[in-house]
């Protein structure tokens, strides 16, 4: 294809993507829909500039307005997360974690974190799995013991494991709480003092649950003893893609150096502006949103369980977060079910569940699916809609009904939810394609 044909094709494909999402039920737990104002920040000229360093101490000219926005962003992050220090320059959640590894450990040190089937993220992972902690920073990873019954880290077993590691001269430098499959709070309060008594730095990866923490509806890691919290800015926190770190003041200088020059050069200033806008929206609407997210996740879990699905965490009411996990192995595997649902415009992802690796499964064909409600909640859906979504899923997965009829019904259902809610401005439709060039002339 000629360059111009490719150019036209790219623009056409982006438009088609918008149209598809406008007709879909987006249930990926790590995604959200930003407000039109956040999208405006992302296409602004901030995205074409450099501002290496800290506001007021840049090594580039042209930062007069950028500095003001970045200062506002850091102040908003401190307010939202009730922290002494904030740095909004990490370009992603992975970069935020990498900055913590760089600041508080050396290659060859140990870190304790959750395994991937127990909810850990690949950025906490071992070198042999190409995990960031192992591969990029040379950490040796040990896993938190996990209780399948409680669907969270086992406190007593963790204490025993740390004691054993210390006796063997392998005491971890960092304990990494938080994760990607994250139904219930982690025992930060129960373990922080114990971990500190072994000089272990405690980080909480709130990539998934930052918006719930901001809305005061999940645990509160910095009050529970975590030294810092890393996060993505675009999951339950509804900003543009990026990362944020908040911490105690005494760790601020080390984190600043680890972000720049340690792990970033350009820190994507359009995204800093978008993060600032998203944080201002959180102050106004965050609590109401977070409450509805959790109500929706619980309702979806109960509706699916009533239809006979094996929803994890039954003993504890399935979930206290924005997501739920379903062991789908009775009907196929997570990979195939994900595809069947996608054909009907229901978009979610396959998920490794605790025990999967031991049973010989892998990430392509795991036993589970993970379902998240941050985006559908931002579109204004409430408990009744969660029941409708559960019914669509049942018809596809259990009843194996005709997909074309369900696809039609899903598209009709979505027509009722066109705007981003919990925002100062929502005139522009949620998935409207922002076209800057008139190509129809």
Footprint of ligand PLP on this chain (CB under 6 A)? Answer: 30, 92-94, 121, 123, 178-180, 205, 207-208, 232, 243
Closer residue to ligand PLP in complex, CB, 235/395: 235
Nearer to ligand PLP, 145 or 179 (CB): 179
HSE, side-chain direction, 13 A CA sphere, residue 333: 12
- In the bound state with ligand PLP, the residue whose beta carbon lies nearer, of 92 and 327, is 92
Phi-psi region of 336 (alpha: psi -120 to 50; beta: other; left: phi over 0): alpha
> Do the Cβ atoms of 23 and 413 come closer than 8 Å?
no
Tokens of 265: 């050069």
**Which C-beta is closer to ligand PLP: that of 167 or that of 265?**
265
Supply the minimum distance, in Å, between the C-beta of residue 12 and ligand PLP.
Answer: 27
Q: Left if phi > 0, otherwise alpha if psi is -120 to 50, otherwise beta: which for 319?
A: beta
In the complex, what is the shortest distance from the CB of residue 404 to ligand PLP, in angstroms, rounded to a whole number? 33
Closest separation in Å from C-beta 234 to ligand PLP: 7
Q: What angle do CA 424, 246, 53 make, to 5 degrees?
A: 90
- Main-chain phi, psi angles of 203, to 5 degrees: -110, 145
Looking up tokens 């072994």 gives 198
Using alpha carbons, select from 437, 309, 441, 383 the residue that is nearest to residue 15: 437
Nearest distance from C-beta of residue 167 to ligand PLP, angstroms: 30
Cα separation, 175 vs 142, in Å, equals: 10
> From CA 79, how far away is CA 73, in angstroms rounded?
10
Report the residue number, 351 or 421, with the smaller CB distance to ligand PLP.
351
We find the least distance from the C-beta atom of residue 120 to ligand PLP, in angstroms, to be 7
Closest-approach residue to ligand PLP (CB):
93
Assigned token pair, 133: 């902690």
Supply the minimum distance, in Å, between the C-beta of residue 413 and ligand PLP: 27
Q: How far is the CB of 318 from ligand PLP (least distance, A)?
A: 19
Whole-number Å distance between alpha carbons of 427 and 401? 37
Closest approach of ligand PLP to the CB of residue 94, in Å = 4
- Residue closest to 324 by CA, chosen among 392, 293, 377, 370: 370
Distances (CA, A) of 155 to 144, 160, 187, 348: 9, 9, 7, 31
Smallest gap from residue 200 Cβ to ligand PLP (A): 19
CB atoms within 10 A of CB 186: 25
Are residues 285 and 273 in contact, defined by beta-carbon separation less than 8 angstroms?
Answer: no
Q: Please name which of 276, 244, 210, 236 lies closest in space to residue 100, comparing C-alpha atoms.
A: 244
Nearer to ligand PLP, 24 or 180 (CB): 180
**Is 255 or 396 the residue whose CB approaches ligand PLP more closely?**
255
CA distances from 149 to 156, 177, 266, 363 (A): 14, 19, 44, 22
Q: Which is nearer to ligand PLP, 275 or 395 (CB)?
A: 275
- CB-wise, 41 or 94, nearer to ligand PLP? 94
The alpha carbons of the chain give a radius of gyration, in whole angstroms, of 22
The nearest distance, CB 264 to ligand PLP, in angstroms, is: 12
> What distance in Å separates the CA atoms of residue 101 and residue 137, rounded to the nearest whole number?
7
Residue number, 224 or 385, with CB nearest to ligand PLP: 224
């Amino acid at each position: 294809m000629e360059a111009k044909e490719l150019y036209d094709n790219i623009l056409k494909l982006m438009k088609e993507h918008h149209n598809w999402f406008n007709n879909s039920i987006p249930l990926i737990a790590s995604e959200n829909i930003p407000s039109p104002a956040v999208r405006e920040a992302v296409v602004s000229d901030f995205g074409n500039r450099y501002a290496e360093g800290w506001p007021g101490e840049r090594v580039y000219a042209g930062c007069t307005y950028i500095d003001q926005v970045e200062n506002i962003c850091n102040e908003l992050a401190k307010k939202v997360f009730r922290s002494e220090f904030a740095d909004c320059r990490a370009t992603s959640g992975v970069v935020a974690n990498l900055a913590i590894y760089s600041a508080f450990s050396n290659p060859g040190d140990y870190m304790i974190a959750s395994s991937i089937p127990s909810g850990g993220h690949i950025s906490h992972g071992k070198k042999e799995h190409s995990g960031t902690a192992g591969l990029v920073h040379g950490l040796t990873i040990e896993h938190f013991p996990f209780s399948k019954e409680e669907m969270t880290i086992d406190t007593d077993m963790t204490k025993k494991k740390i004691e054993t590691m210390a006796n063997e001269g392998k005491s971890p430098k960092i304990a990494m709480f938080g994760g990607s499959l994250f139904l219930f709070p982690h025992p930060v309060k129960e373990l922080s003092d114990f971990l500190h008594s072994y000089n272990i730095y405690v980080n909480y990866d709130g990539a998934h649950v930052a918006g719930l923490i901001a809305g005061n509806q999940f645990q509160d890691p910095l009050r529970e003893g975590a030294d810092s919290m890393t996060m993505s800015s675009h999951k339950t926190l509804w900003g543009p893609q990026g990362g944020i770190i908040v911490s105690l003041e005494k760790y601020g200088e080390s984190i600043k150096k680890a972000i720049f020059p340690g792990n970033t050069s350009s820190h994507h200033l359009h995204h800093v502006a978008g993060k600032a806008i998203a944080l201002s929206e959180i102050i106004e609407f965050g609590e109401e949103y977070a409450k509805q997210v959790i109500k929706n996740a619980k309702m979806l879990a109960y509706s699916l369980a009533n239809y006979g699905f094996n929803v994890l965490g039954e003993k504890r009411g399935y979930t206290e977060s924005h997501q739920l996990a379903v062991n789908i192995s009775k009907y196929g595997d997570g990979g195939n079910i994900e595809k069947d649902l996608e054909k009907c415009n229901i978009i979610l992802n396959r998920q490794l569940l605790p025990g999967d690796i031991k049973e010989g499964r892998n990430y392509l064909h795991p036993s589970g699916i993970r379902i998240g409600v941050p985006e559908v909640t931002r579109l204004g859906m409430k408990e009744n809609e969660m029941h409708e979504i559960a019914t669509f899923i049942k018809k596809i997965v259990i009843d194996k009904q005709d997909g074309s009829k369900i696809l039609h019904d899903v598209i009709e259902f979505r027509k009722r939810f066109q705007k981003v809610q919990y925002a100062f401005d929502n005139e522009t439709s949620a998935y409207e394609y922002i076209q800057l060039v008139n190509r129809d002339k």
